[in-house]
Amino acid sequence: MKRTLFALAAVLALVVTPALAQVKPNFSGTWVLDVAKSDFGPSPAPESMTLAIVHKDPSIKATSTQKSAEMGEVKNERSITTDGKDNVNKLNMGQMGEQNITSKTTWAGKTLVTSYSLDMQGTALAVKDTWDMSADGKTLTSTRVIGTPDGDFTLKMVFNKQQ
């Protein structure tokens, strides 16, 4: 009897563990940038940044508000889906104007991956943005790799959950 229970427990562990590992996070909430834990590479850090996210998979609506001395306050809203379909949103780049961005977002395990291209003053950029949530659900890390003709650079933004 003990062998049967042990065998059953072992089988359940093999079946349940992968299922638990694939539970996707819900990014809903208000997130505030922790400038001290973030790394903006060659770019100047903003004074502040807040993300307000409503996540009802496969739909995500994210509103960002960023303040900096160079650009003032810049607000962007984007609606995306996590099903790999094209999503078109307007990107407000402050004094540099606005442009439409077509992105694709998919899950890679528990990581949300968004890819898009944009034109920055005549230079084509390829962007890959990943979102990862800490195990306790209190920290969102956005890692953005920006491909330029002169090479790639990475921005790491760490957000703390407020609500």
pTM score of the predicted model: 0.83
Short-list 63, 66, 62, 34, CA closest to 141: 34
Hunting for tokens 């077509």 — which residue is that?
Answer: 102
Query: Which domains, and CATH codes, for the chain?
Result: 25-161 (2.40.128.20)
Classify 12 as helix, strand or coil.
helix
How does pLDDT run along the chain (163 residues), one tens digit per residue?
444 433 334 444 444 444 445 699 999 999 999 999 999 998 899 999 999 999 999 999 999 999 998 888 999 999 999 999 999 999 998 777 899 999 999 999 999 999 999 988 889 999 999 999 999 999 999 999 999 999 999 999 999 999 6
- What CA–CA distance (Å, rounded) separates 145 from 64? 18
Short-list 95, 64, 68, CA closest to 78: 64
